[in-house]
Structure formats: C-alpha cells, structure tokens
Structure 1
Amino acid sequence: MTKAYLKTIFREIWSSKARFTSILLIIFLGVAFYTGIRATGPDMSQAAADYYQKQRLATNSVQSTLGLTKADTAVLDRHRDQISYQAVKYLDVNQVNNNRVVRVTELPKSQRLNRLRLVSGRLPQKANEVVLDQYARKLDPKLKLGATYRIVSSKKLNAQFKRRQFKVVGFVNSPVYVESSSRGVTNIGKGTLDYLVYVRPQTLKAPAYSQIDVRFKNLTNVQPYSKKYRRLNRQNTAALKRWLKPQAKKRQRSLRAQATKKVAPLKQAVAAAQQQLPANALQLTTLQKQLKTAQAQVAAIKAPTYLYSDRSDNPGYSEYHENTQRIEALATVFPLFFIAIAALICLTTMTRMVEELRLQMGTLKALGYGNAAIGSEFLIYGGLAALLGTVLGVAFGVNFFPRFIAQAYGSMYNLPAINVQYLWSDILIALAIALLCTLGTALVVLRVDLRSNPTALLRPKAPKAGQTLWLERWHGLWRRLSFNHKITLRNLFRYKQRLLMTVLGIAGCMAMMITGFGLKDSIGDISTKQFDQLWHYDAIVTRNGNQTAAQRRALKATKLYRADLTLLSKQATIKKSGVAEQTVTLDVPNQPKALPHFVTLRERESHCAIPLPKHGAVIDEKLAKLYDVRVGDRLNVKLAGQPVRHVRVGAIVENYVNHFLYLSPTAYQQAFKRQPVYNANLVQLKSTNETRGNHFADHLLKTKGILNVTLMATEKNTNFKMLDTMNLVVLIFVISAGALALLVLYNLTNINVSERIRELSTIKVLGFYDGEVTMYIFRENLILTVLGIGLGCFLGNWLHAYILQTAETNALMFSPEIHPLSYVYSALLTLAFSLLVMAVMHRKLKRVDMLAALKSVD
C-alpha cells in the first residue's frame, strides 16, 4: 500500500465525515449500553463482597429459646482453628416516647464480626454514650450528634437496663442490615424493627447472650452468593449443629439442677413438718402441695431449642443478590436489543459505502491495484470506526452506567460506592460485533464487486426495476391517488431492503422508548393503586392483647377519629426451598363483612371484588407467583413460637407492596388451633395531615397497653421515596433509545438521499421546488416511521413485560399497565426526530450539485 493510496483513504474518511461519525456514534452507543449494563450486576455484586469482607460479616448465627451461655461459647472455643465468633446481647424495646420499635445491642469490647461502618461521629467510649443506626436520623431528624437519647418503655423492659439516658456520639450502618430501611422482625410492638441502637457493654442486665455470630474461615476468600459458597455453607451449618447438639440436654440438666436447689429448702421443710405435725394437718398439706407443684415445674423444664441461621436467611442480603441477578437478566436482553439495532444500521451504511465507491474501485483495478489493496480502504474505514467507537463506548459505558444504576439502588441499600471493573469477555464480544458489522459487511459486499472486471465497476449499477404493486390491482383506490402518492408507494416497495431496515430500526427504538416510559408508569402506579385504591385506612394501632374499654375510649376520644376495624395482625414467615424466606402480615378481621371498607380485595385484571372466605386464606398475587401456588394449593406459614401450619389458598388478590395473608376468624381457628387475639385496629382519620397524625399517635401511646401507632402517610413517604430514584434508571433508557432513534433516522435518511441523488437531481431539473423535493423523500420517511411506530408498540409491550418480570423485587410488584400517553410520547418523540432529520436533509438537498449528479460516467 503506497503512501499516496493511504492518503486517499484518509481523504475519503474526511470527505465523508458525516457518515464516518454516524457509524462511530452508533457503535459507541451500542457498545456503551451493552458493556455498561452488562458490567452493572457484577460491579454491584463485587461491591457487596468487598463490603462483607471488610466488615467481617458473620456467615452463621446461633440463637436459643433460653438464651446462650458461656458453656456454649466454650464449645465453640474448641474449634477456633475453623471459626471466629462473637457473642452479643440485645433487647428489643417498644419506645413509647417516640413511637418506634428499636433493638438495643451491646457492642462487644472488640468487634471481631459484623463491624459497624461509621457514617458520622465516633463509636461510644463511655457508659453514657450511644451510637444509632443511620436510618434513625431519617425517621427522626431531631436525632443529631450530641443529642440526648432516652429509652422509655414498659416498667418490665425499663428494669432490664442499668441506664436509659445516653448522649448520641455517632451514626452507623451495620453490615447485617444492608437494606436502608428494613431491620427485620420482632415479637415486640408492631412486629417490625424501626432502627438499631448500640450501647457499651454491661448496659443490659440480661445474664445470657441473645445470639452468637460465627464466621467460618473456609469462606473467607469465597465469592458470596456463588455455588461454592452455598456448598461450603451447607457443610459448615451441619458442623455447627453437630458441635452444639449436646448443649441442649446439658442446659436442661443445668436448669433442672438449679431449680432443684431452689426446691431443696421446701423439701426439707416438708420433711421437718412430717415429723412434727399430724398427717392431716393443714400446714403440712399446704407444704406438700407446694412441693408437688415445684417438683412438677422442675420436671416441666424442657431442653431449649437451638435456632441456626445463615446469611441467606437475612432478607436484605438475599434481596440485594436478587436485585443484581435481575440487572444481569435485564442485561441479557435490553443491551443486546440495543446493539442489534446499531448493528443493523451499520450493516446498511457500510453496504451503501461499498456501492458508492464502485467507480473508485474500478479505477484502482484498472491502474493495477490488487483486490487486497482495494479492499483495505473499506477495512481501514470500517475498522477505524469500529475500534474508536468501541474504545469510547467501553470507556463511557463501563464508567457511567454501573455508577448511575448503583447510585439509584443506593437509596435502598447501605453499601459503599462501587468500583468499576472491565469485563473483558463482554468487551471482546462488543468489539467482535462492531467489527462484524463494519468489516464483515464490507467483506461480504466486496466479495462480489472485487470479482468484477474494471469495465463493469466503472459503470454504475442499473437501477432496480419497478414492479407492479398489489395496490395497483385495487383500481378504485389507485385511480384516486395523486401522482406523487403513486411514486411514493412505488419507491417504498421498490427498495424492500431499505423499507425493512428502516421499519425495524425505528420499531426497535420506539420499543425501547415505550419500555422506558412504561417502567415509569409501572413504578408510579404502585403508590396510587396501593394507598388510594386498595388501602382505605390512615393508621394502624397495635396493642398487647384484646382491646380494653379504656383503649376503646381513648381511640374514639380523639377529634381526628372517623372509623376503625379491630383485627388480629401478626408477622409470619413463609419459606420454601429455592425461594428467599418472605415475611407476611397475617390479618384476621373481627368483622369480616366490614373489611371492604378498609381494604379492597379484588382481582387485578377484572377488578371483581373478592369476599373473605370462611375457609382458606386470601394472599397477594406476588406471593402466589414467588411460591408458584394457585387457589386450592397450600402454603407453609409459621408464626413466632408456633409450629409450621399448612394454610390452603382460597383466593389471590391484587397487591403491590409487601405481602399479606387474610383469614377469617373461622379459618384462623382451623389453621392455628387457637382463638384469635385481636391486637390491632385499622383506623380511618378525618385528616391525613402529618402534624395532626403525630398528635393522634402521641395521644394513643399514653394509653396503657397500646404499643405502637403506624401512620400510613409516613409509610407512604418512607417506602416510595426510594422508588423515585428508579426514574433515573428509566431516564437512561429513554435518553439512550432516543439518541439511537435519532442516529438511526439520520443514517437511513442520509443513505436514502445518497442512493437517489440522480433521481432527486432529475426532478429538480424538471422544475420541482426545494420543498417539493424534500417532501418527495419525507413522504416515504413518514410512512416508514409510522409503520415502525406501529411495530414498535407491539415490541415495546413485550420488552416492558419481560423487564418487569426481571426487575421486580420479592416484596414489590410493579403495575403491568402502560399508560396510553406513554405510547403517545414515544410516537411523538420518534416523529419529532424524523422531522428534525428531514430539516437537516432539506438543507442538504438545497445544496445538491445537479450537474455533478447527472454527469454521465460513460
């Protein structure tokens, strides 16, 4: 290859810089989206793995129904070569001074496991200092560094503390709770924890440990969530159970021995009385009854149950992994869809370039250049565009998309910022696709042209012959069409490849825009449907038992009160192999007929009301999908302190937030073999003003036995604040799809004009005005755009449904409907891009050199 020929190649790039730039930008967009979205899931997983490693998150935990003692830690001490462990004490408290349920945990002297991550301030150093969960600051903005924090609960719980007033010296995040808001369940108050409190050792009076956290050393360098991790974890859990299995009997014997010592004085008293008193003496009989009762109590002491859990039992830990998997599932379709459209347009552009340079190829052949030298121009041209587009696309995509999406999810999780990583397998795939679209296309087209002799190449290809359209056989319609409209239709069907490419390109971009707007609809509808259409109550009042007359009077005494429904409300868990354990709210209304006034139970598609059945449970649609159950099937439901019960599914209803299981009093008695204790009220208020609502809650909490008041307005703001960030992800889809649509329309229109420059010059010579020449092309583009929009609606529907299935979390169901306006917005944007492109083309057509275009090459 001579220096002059190389200069010619770069001169060609410069003279056709618009085409070169469009190829580069299309490859850039496709590669950026593909590599960026594909890297997001692995980047988020790696960020979590690094965080768990740095904070030394425990791999397993052990609890006991009677607490854990030094005898249990002594057993674990014997296996120090395999594990490290940390025993902790905590107490769940229902705060009556701020309407919160908190877990107060003693910080160990040395945090060997589950190390707290300091957000601000410092860790406590004195007995009167405390650090709070970062989420506490969001729930109560008054909690700041230096503020006084008081623990105020029932007398029984207050007595469990050596001190109850502290100074706030820091805010922290715990690696155990990676979700920003959820802190797990408890048997105190409303059944869920609001936030965590960490105090110095020896603040609690409890003699036994609440939990022992364990970290197996063989999992230190194993990637969390991997198959290897799960396999080793099963072995580790089995070993832990084997080590601690004898402890239950030993603890039982120890407790019985302690109780027997306490009974010994009574036994001696009975023996002494038998020697001094007649056999039928009242005092002797009383002592004998007391002894018999005490001995029965000793005999009734059962062996404690040891409860074992691992990371997979932590909802936040599992939920985060499921979200990364959803992103990875999303990355298997959406980016490929995106890059396929880019590849399609590159293929068309490169094909047109080869056809445009036939004359140059013939000249070079006539001058003696070989096929390799002639073909190298196209390979350099396409390869340079592919390489530059890929490099720029990877640099932008890998650094932008993962950070952007992770930041959107960041409001849901307490994890540090991600570190981007280059997945070379995906980068090489993107490069291969880019090169295939440019070099591959050029080689396929050149294969035919390079076999031709110079004489054939120096003559332009004959225009494609016109064919009779089937529309022409519809004589009534065809006669009514104007000359321009007939020409437009003939040109459309004359170039079928161009028609197909344009329609598919526009349809793909339209589908992605519909998907983006549809996701926004699906996310936005959750709040409206759940809180306005399905739930019709403003507060949940939780008590420690059945409602008393005083509690009833206190509830009705407030001016804000309108109506209420008494019900049993408890947190239950449902677990099935292969599905992360789900927490459900089990509700049993005292008056089932009144439930529709507070909760709408309906079928999602038909909106048909579903009455609460006497037998069987009503569950939400998302729960039914997760566990793959239908009406008539059974769910394994477990309430705290009770064995697993098998509950039959009586109906499946519409619901979008969290999981609910509704039972009639009869169905509850049948399933759980006990009478329901109506420990809660769904309350309707006359006003949902936040200030008035807080006064209402403060008033009720002064009443004995009322544990918690949850305001739905607060719940709505808390739960859906994080969903707003999802709009950022949606924005990426819309902007990316819009940019691609603009490039697709520009490229295809530019090719259309270039292919038909002689035709357009001819009609200009015949006297067509500039506007008429532009309309000559625009009519075709408009028809193709409309066809693409129509096809894109169907593709968008399918793509939106697929993404919803992969992007939903376990506790959330997106609304599957796309608003009509979303179709309108997508169509209008596509039409706007088409008009913008035609405005650019109009300027180009005005400057056409007709003499040069019509010059004969003979």
Structure 2
Amino acid sequence: MVGGKMTKAYFKAILREIGRSKARFLSIMLIIFLGVAFYTGIRATGPDMLQAADDYYARQKLATNSVQSTAGLTKNDLAVLHRHRNALTYQAVKYLDINQLNNNRAVRVAEIPAKQRLNRLTMVSGHLPRKANEIVLDQQARVLQPRLKLGDTYRIATTTKLNRQFKRRTFKIVGFVTSPRYIEKATRGVTNVGKGTLDYFALVKPGTLTQTVASRIDIQFKNLATVTPYSATYKRLDKANTAKLKRWLKPLAAKRQTQLQQQARAKLAPQAAKVDQLAQQLPANSPILTAAQAKITQAKAQIAAIDRPTYLYSGRAANPGYSEYHENTQRVVALSTVFPLFFIAIAALICLTTMTRMVAELRVQMGTLKALGYSNSAIGSEFLLYGGLASLLGTLLGVGFGVNFFPRFIAQAYGSMYNLPAINVQYLWGDIGIALIIALACTMGSAAIVLRVDLNSLPAVLMQPKAPKAGKTLWLEHWHGFWRRLSFNHKVTLRNLFRYKQRLLMTVLGIAGCMAMMITGFGLKDSIGDISLKQFDQLWHYDAVVVRSGSQTAAQRRALHRQSLYRHDLVLKQSQVTVEKDGIANQTATLSVPQQPSKLKQFVVLRNRQTHQAYHLNNHGAIIDEKLAKLYHVKVGDNLPVKLGNRALKQVKVAAIAENYVNHFIYLSPTAYRQVFGHAAIYNGNLVQFTQHGERAQNQFASDLLKTKGMLNVTLLSTEKKTNFQMLDTMDLVVIIFVVAAGALALVVLYNLTNINVSERIRELSTIKVLGFYDHEVTMYIFRENLILTVLGILVGCFMGDWLHSYILNTAETDSLMFSPGIHPLSYIYSALLTLAFSLLVMWLMHRKLKRINMLDALQSVD
C-alpha cells in the first residue's frame, strides 16, 4: 500500500504540523506539565516525608517503648529485661524535672548514659560533656534564651528541696543537641513542676544526680527494627510487645512494695529502739514517751500503707511531635488527591477543545489522505501521535519538576516545626504511571472522541469546509426592551458567546478553577492570620499566667499586687491533663478551675463561634474547646475521658463547646471539679491583667515575682503568641504555591482557548478588518467575549473556592490548632483582580498576534 512507502514523509507531516501550530502544541504540553507536576509532586511528598522520618528513627535508634514506675526503676527491673536481651535493647535514664527560678523555665535535667544505645543525640554544635562540670543543652534552649552560648556558665537554681538532689549546680555549656525523643522543635511534653509543660532539656555526666533509682527505661524491640513506623504492622507488633512488657514486669510490683517497706522499717528501727529504751526509763503515762510512741505508731501505719508501685508503659506516640508528624504527612496525602484533580479535570477539558479544533482545521488534509487510499487508523494516528507526543513530553517534564520541587518545598515548610533531616526524593513509579495514563487519555482519548465522526465521512465531504455553526435566537432577544438598547457589537458578542457553548463552558470552568485556587490561597492566609487576632485579642483578656506550688499565701498575694504592671487577677487551679481514647492520638489540655467562676468572663471569653452566645460555668459539666470536641467526636451531653497526672482515667461531661483556636482547654467549676476528681481543687495559679505591654517591663514582672517563695512559673502571653505563630509563618509558602499554580493555570487556559477562538473566527475577524475596523477594535471584538467569560468564571470560582478552602482547612489543621474558617472580602477582590490581570495579559498577547496576521490571506477561499 502507498502508506507503507510514505512512512518517513508521514512523520515529516506530523513534525510540520507541530511546527505550524507551536502555540497549540505547547499549550497542550504545558497543561499536561502542570497537571502531572502537581499530581506526582504532591503525591510523592507524604511518602518522602515519612521515609525521611523512618531513616532518622533508624539512624538515631529511637526507642520503641518506655517504662516508668511511681517508685522509680531498680536493678531488679533491669535484670528482668536483661533476661530478654535477645528480643530487645534497653537503656536506663535518670532525670529530674526542675523549675528554673532564675530564668522562668521548666527544664528536664538528665544524665547521659555512658553508652548511647538508644535515642542517640544529634550534635548541633560543640561536644558532649567530658567532665563533671560540663553540660549540653537542648537546641530549643537557645531559641527560648538567645543569650545562652557555648562556654557560658549555666546555673541550676530551683527550690531548696530539688537543689539538694544535685551534687553540682554550676556547669559550663559545651554543646547544643537535638534528641529523637522530641521530633517537634518547640514541644517537650508535660511535667509535674511549674506550668506543667517542659521548655527544654539539659544533659549532664552520670553521677550528677543523687537519686539511686532510674526515672525511665527506654526499650527498642528488635522485631520492629525493619518495620515501617506508623504502619498497621508496626502498630500490631507494638501492641504485642507492650503486652509482653506488662507480663514480664507485673510480678516486680509486689516485690518493690515489700522492698520499700523493708527499707522504711530499717530506717525506723533505730528510732523504735530509742523509744523502747525511753519506755524503760520513763513512766508509762509520761507525755514525752506517749508522743514518741505515737510517732512510731504513725510511722508504722505509713509503712504499712505504702502502695504497690504502678508501672507506666508508653510507646513512641507519647513522644511530642511523633504522631503529629504522621498526621501532617497524611494531610499532604489528602491534599494530593483533591488538589491535582483541578488540573487534571481542566487539562482534559482543554485538550478536548484543542483536539476538536485541530481536527476541524485538518479536515481537507484528512479528506485528501482518504482519497489517496490511507486507512482510518493511518489518518487518525497523526492526531494520536501529535497528542501523545505532547502528553509524553509534558509528563516527562512534569515528573522531573514536580517530584524534585514540591516535596522539598513542602517539607521545608514543615521543617521549621520538626527536628528532622532534609528529605531524599524518590520516584513513585505507580503514581508516575497513573499520571502518564491520565495525560495520554486527556490528549489521545480526546482525539479519538473527536475523530469518531470525521473518519467515517466520505473524502468528498471532508475536502469541503465545514459549514459554520448555525445561529439561534437567544432567550435574551425575547427581552425586547433590553435587546433594543444594545449596540451592534454587543449583540454580536452575546450571539457568539451562546453560539459556541463548548468554548463557553470550557473557559468558565477553567477560569473558575483558577479563581477557586487563588481564593483558597488567600483564604488560608486569612484563616491563619485571624487565629492571632481572635485568640489573643477577642478570646483571651489576660497577659500572664502565674503558677504557684500550692494555694495563694498572703505574701504571694502582696508580691503580686504591688507589681507596677499589675491591674487585676483571677485565682484558679490550672494543670495539664491528658485526654485519652483508643484510636485517637493523646491530647494535652489545660484544665482550669476558677475560684470565682462569675469573674472568669473578665479574663476569658467562652462563646459559641458562630452565634457568639456566651457560655457560663455550671456545676453539671465542663466547657471544652471546639477542636477537642471535633477530635474526640463528642457533643454537648457526651463524656470526655480525661487523666490528671498518673491517676485513673475520669469521664468529664461536656456542658458546652466554646470557640478556641490554639491548644486545648477544659474549664470546670469548683463543684464540678470535686464531682469528677473526688477532691477539692487547690488554686495554684493566677490569670493576670497588665496596665501596659512593654516587653522589658513584662520580663521584669516575671523576674521579680519569681523571687517570692512558692512562685514556680510565670508565662507571658506575648511570648506564647510569638512561639505559637512562628510555625504558622510557613503557611505563606503554601499560599505562594496556590497563587502561582493558579496563575500559571489561568494563563495557559485563557491563552489556549483565546487562541482557538481566534483561529476559528479568523475569516470573521479579517472581514471586519477589511470593512475598516482598527486593530484595537478587532481585539475588543474578542476581548469583550473573554471579559464576560472571565467574569462568569470568577463568579462560579467564588463558590468553588469556598468549598476547596473548607476542604483544605480540614485537612491542613494540626491536632492542637483550629483555623478560622472565614475568608475576608478582600481575598475575593484580590483573586478576581489577579484573574482579570491574567485575562488582560492574554489579550495583550493576542492583540500582538492579531496585528501580525495577514487578513487578505485568511480571506482566501479553500474551494
């Protein structure tokens, strides 16, 4: 057949067609490039971030489990674990939590094990302690206290009782480190000193602490060494491992109880002997003897009442940031399913329109080839190869850019929150294969759909120009008053808009998608910015939180009231509680019990987020924050499982759900607190309002107050605000991604569709130019239509943007944060103006193109 000899010429014809229609070929390639880049790039981000964490945990030997005991851990506990050394590696750690009264920080001072078998530290600068007087600090210490530097002196200055538990309290700073136990940069977990949360840790040489028992034993089970963290297999094996630990250590609780009682009796024995001697020397009814015997009896009763110690078992989920990091990667995965769909859907629509136009332009060529004896498959292959080549090039470039750019960009944004190394890019061939199939379906599939009719037509029909689409009476024409007032040009514009319905739909949907993404980008910025305004200005009306060792003394009250910054305060109980429920990551919440509930509204606004209805504490339940209610799927009337310290889990009834954006809060009245926990609240804190807000004056307030006996900690809200919103700055990068991506998409869509519009109507445009229309009038002939379509797209995009913004917020929130769901009116205006700007840019490019077209050549007949 002739076709066999013409193969080389046939490929030349395809290349010639690509060269003749460079703009169309590039537009298809670009739309595929954008879709594939976003799909493969964002799809790879979650797995890349998880792989980085997996490598880090393995390299730093992160413990899989930890064991603590209410009575400390002894050599007997270690001996049990040693018997199972073939199944695990273990490491005992001694530490003491203190409240630094000289710098208002809660610090965990730990001894570095002689050999770091587990939880290996990463040196940021300096070296580990080599001498007894050397100390290394958590890198977070340098963030919170910028004055701390290598070579400086570090002093431990806490309560007299805790000071005695150190053999040395002055050290030289020789290094700064990070620990794999703290994946999150800012959070260091809870403690039973100070404000209830740790600020940072410090590490010293063994022998610095006086305590004889270990505070914690870290364990790594060998059967988890090669198992991917966070996976279902990991969770199943971890559950089995925890059950083994409980079984092995359970018998030791009774032995430890006996040991503690024996030790106490041994200490009491000399005193009892002295009392016995005294009994032989004094009369039986002597007051001195009676008092001494009463003390001995009381001591014996206390020894008998020594409880069996409780062992506390925790997995990696207890490490601050461990579970949250996984949840953040899952949010990226969630984004990767919906976000690229906009690009893929629009790409499919644009490709369909483009291939339809290409087939219409090459009808005569198709008829000629048919007349020469080429088969339908040979003729159709030109279009399939054209579209396939554009798809293939777009996919290759999209994968190369997307997989290397987006994971690094997004991981860098999260990098400011976590102590994890940079990610290594990996190519997920499954996702790349799917992207290629979708890209080929968009182009080759579109070509096959369009060719379906024309390939079955006769050569004589194909070699004749296709009849223009017939015009129809518009429904607007029935509105006679309106229609008569329109100029000729406006009537033509409206007729053309509704005559080409496919182009109208494609343009409106394309612009709407771009508008929706821009609204989402600006809306995210609004939602993040509003958190600061609403939380710190509208909901919280206090400036500092003071924590004491117990109930407020007269001296403490005087010390607070005489501060120059002091304006007003509220006495309350404040402590950290853990909310626990199977299947949901444990959350830390601040439990607050005001001594005078009626005064709470002056310091904290508790209200419904939507209606702003005020809530007041009653004796029938707690007021909790909205995010906590959402995480645990509770509503008013339900119970929330809460654990105070190491005590048993309690069920707290939810009386109301209040607006809140940062961290978790549970408010109870004194009566409700007693009902839940079985004892009266000890009011260990104050919410304080200041007369002014200078940084230096506030720091001086904290420093002066901590000199008073029993004052443990002062938390300044200005510092909290700064710390909380450092990580939110990273969301600006996400906004940039949305706006740039939407802009690129808008340009490609508008250029492509406008180019098709001009190509389809070149004879019409040439005619009006020959009739005397100026260049700018010819451009306006097209621009009016584009402007109307752009405005329609903007309107539809507003609704799509609201939906996409809402979806993104739900997937991007962290467990301890709730975004403000509203979008500012200005964001809609900015998005609309940017979309209009892209439309104007496209029309400027088209204006230049129209000026270069030879209108007389365009008017020549094909007959």
User: Normalised by the shorter chain, which TM-score bucket?
Assistant: over 0.9
Partner of 1:773: 778
Say whether 1:433 aligns with 2:438.
Answer: yes
Taking a change above 3 Å as real, the CA distance of residues 148 and 272 of structure 1, as seen in their structure-2 partners, is closer
Deviates more, 1:767-776 or 1:503-512: 767-776
* Aligned amino acid, residue 580 of structure 1: A
Partner of 2:57: 52
* Aligned amino acid, residue 66 of structure 1: A
Q: SS of 1:797's equivalent?
A: helix
Shift of 1:4: 2.5
Partner of 1:72: 77
Aligned partners of 1:509 and 1:738 also within 8 Å: yes
* Aligned amino acid, residue 435 of structure 1: L
Say whether 1:721 aligns with 2:726.
Answer: yes
Q: SS of 1:168's equivalent?
A: strand
Taking a change above 3 Å as real, the CA distance of residues 766 and 385 of structure 1, as seen in their structure-2 partners, is same
Say whether 1:22 aligns with 2:14.
Answer: no
Residue number among 754, 757, 760 corresponding to 1:752 in the alignment = 757
Aligned partners of 1:315 and 1:580 also within 8 Å: no
Give distance in 2, aligned partners of 1:547 and 1:278.
Answer: 45
Partner of 2:422: 417
Taking a change above 3 Å as real, the CA distance of residues 666 and 289 of structure 1, as seen in their structure-2 partners, is closer
Residue number among 224, 227, 234 corresponding to 2:229 in the alignment = 224
Say whether 1:119 aligns with 2:111.
Answer: no
* Aligned amino acid, residue 834 of structure 2: L
Give distance in 2, aligned partners of 1:279 and 1:706.
Answer: 46
Aligned partners of 1:48 and 1:415 also within 8 Å: yes
Give distance in 1, aligned partners of 2:425 and 2:251.
Answer: 48
Q: SS of 1:108's equivalent?
A: coil
Give distance in 2, aligned partners of 1:414 and 1:278.
Answer: 71
Q: SS of 2:726's equivalent?
A: helix
Give distance in 2, aligned partners of 1:676 and 1:289.
Answer: 31
Aligned partners of 1:130 and 1:200 also within 8 Å: yes
* Aligned amino acid, residue 737 of structure 1: A
Q: TM-score, normalised by structure 2?
A: 0.97
Give distance in 2, aligned partners of 1:428 and 1:115.
Answer: 40
Aligned partners of 1:87 and 1:209 also within 8 Å: yes
Shift of 1:536: 1.1
Give distance in 1, aligned partners of 2:803 and 2:598.
Answer: 40
Residue number among 684, 691, 694 corresponding to 2:696 in the alignment = 691
Give distance in 2, aligned partners of 1:265 and 1:559.
Answer: 54
Deviations 1:702-731 (A, max 9, x none): 111111111111111111011011111111
Partner of 2:43: 38
Shift of 1:661: 0.8
Deviations 1:509-551 (A, max 9, x none): 1111111111111111111111111111111111111111211
Shift of 1:613: 2.5
Say whether 1:844 aligns with 2:849.
Answer: yes
Say whether 1:763 aligns with 2:768.
Answer: yes
Give distance in 2, aligned partners of 1:670 and 1:456.
Answer: 89
* Aligned amino acid, residue 114 of structure 1: N
Give distance in 2, aligned partners of 1:360 and 1:71.
Answer: 90
Partner of 2:3: none
Shift of 1:271: 6.0
Q: Within 5 Å, which residues of 2 pair with 1:250-289? A: 250-266=255-271, 268=273, 285-286=290-291, 288-289=293-294
Q: Within 5 Å, which residues of 2 pair with 1:339-358? A: 339-358=344-363
Residue number among 791, 810, 818 corresponding to 2:815 in the alignment = 810
Shift of 1:32: 0.6
Residue number among 817, 832, 836 corresponding to 2:837 in the alignment = 832
Partner of 1:681: 686
Q: SS of 2:71's equivalent?
A: coil
Question: Any gaps of 5 or more consecutive residues in structure 2?
Answer: 1-5
Residue number among 373, 376, 390 corresponding to 1:368 in the alignment = 373
Deviations 1:223-253 (A, max 9, x none): 0000000000110000000000000011111
Give distance in 1, aligned partners of 2:269 and 2:551.
Answer: 40
* Aligned amino acid, residue 610 of structure 1: Y
Say whether 1:443 aligns with 2:448.
Answer: yes
Give distance in 1, aligned partners of 2:296 and 2:389.
Answer: 96
Partner of 1:241: 246
* Aligned amino acid, residue 357 of structure 1: L
Q: SS of 1:61's equivalent?
A: strand
Aligned partners of 2:408 and 2:423 also within 8 Å: yes
Partner of 1:8: 13
Aligned partners of 1:315 and 1:581 also within 8 Å: no
Q: SS of 1:683's equivalent?
A: strand
Give distance in 1, aligned partners of 2:410 and 2:276.
Answer: 77
Q: Within 5 Å, which residues of 2 pair with 1:779-794? A: 779-794=784-799
Residue number among 326, 334, 347 corresponding to 1:321 in the alignment = 326
Shift of 1:569: 0.8
Q: Within 5 Å, which residues of 2 pair with 1:205-604? A: 205-266=210-271, 268=273, 285-286=290-291, 288-604=293-609
Residue number among 602, 608, 611 corresponding to 2:613 in the alignment = 608
Aligned partners of 2:183 and 2:319 also within 8 Å: no
Say whether 1:105 aligns with 2:106.
Answer: no
Deviates more, 1:484-493 or 1:719-728: 484-493
Aligned partners of 1:118 and 1:173 also within 8 Å: yes
* Aligned amino acid, residue 237 of structure 2: L
Q: SS of 1:771's equivalent?
A: helix
Give distance in 2, aligned partners of 1:812 and 1:260.
Answer: 52
- For these two proteins, the number of residue pairs brought into alignment is 858
Deviates more, 1:3-12 or 1:55-64: 3-12
Give distance in 1, aligned partners of 2:198 and 2:292.
Answer: 46
Give distance in 2, aligned partners of 1:566 and 1:636.
Answer: 26
Partner of 1:203: 208
Shift of 1:641: 4.2
Aligned partners of 1:543 and 1:708 also within 8 Å: yes
Give distance in 2, aligned partners of 1:140 and 1:368.
Answer: 84
Give distance in 1, aligned partners of 2:77 and 2:680.
Answer: 37
* Aligned amino acid, residue 741 of structure 2: S
Aligned partners of 1:618 and 1:653 also within 8 Å: yes
Deviates more, 1:581-590 or 1:241-250: 581-590
Give distance in 2, aligned partners of 1:159 and 1:406.
Answer: 45
Say whether 1:708 aligns with 2:696.
Answer: no
Give distance in 2, aligned partners of 1:830 and 1:846.
Answer: 25
Give distance in 2, aligned partners of 1:113 and 1:534.
Answer: 43
* Aligned amino acid, residue 753 of structure 2: L
Question: Any gaps of 5 or more consecutive residues in structure 1?
Answer: none
Q: SS of 1:434's equivalent?
A: helix
Deviations 1:581-615 (A, max 9, x none): 11111111122222122111111112222222243
Give distance in 2, aligned partners of 1:262 and 1:814.
Answer: 58
Shift of 1:258: 2.1
Q: TM-score, normalised by structure 1?
A: 0.98
Q: SS of 2:522's equivalent?
A: helix
Taking a change above 3 Å as real, the CA distance of residues 686 and 288 of structure 1, as seen in their structure-2 partners, is closer
Deviates more, 1:77-86 or 1:442-451: 442-451
Partner of 2:162: 157
Deviations 1:101-158 (A, max 9, x none): 1000100010000111111111111111111101111111111111111111111111
Aligned partners of 1:378 and 1:442 also within 8 Å: yes
Residue number among 604, 608, 624 corresponding to 1:619 in the alignment = 624
Give distance in 1, aligned partners of 2:282 and 2:856.
Answer: 137
Q: SS of 1:320's equivalent?
A: helix
Aligned partners of 2:183 and 2:320 also within 8 Å: no
Partner of 2:858: 853
* Aligned amino acid, residue 178 of structure 1: I
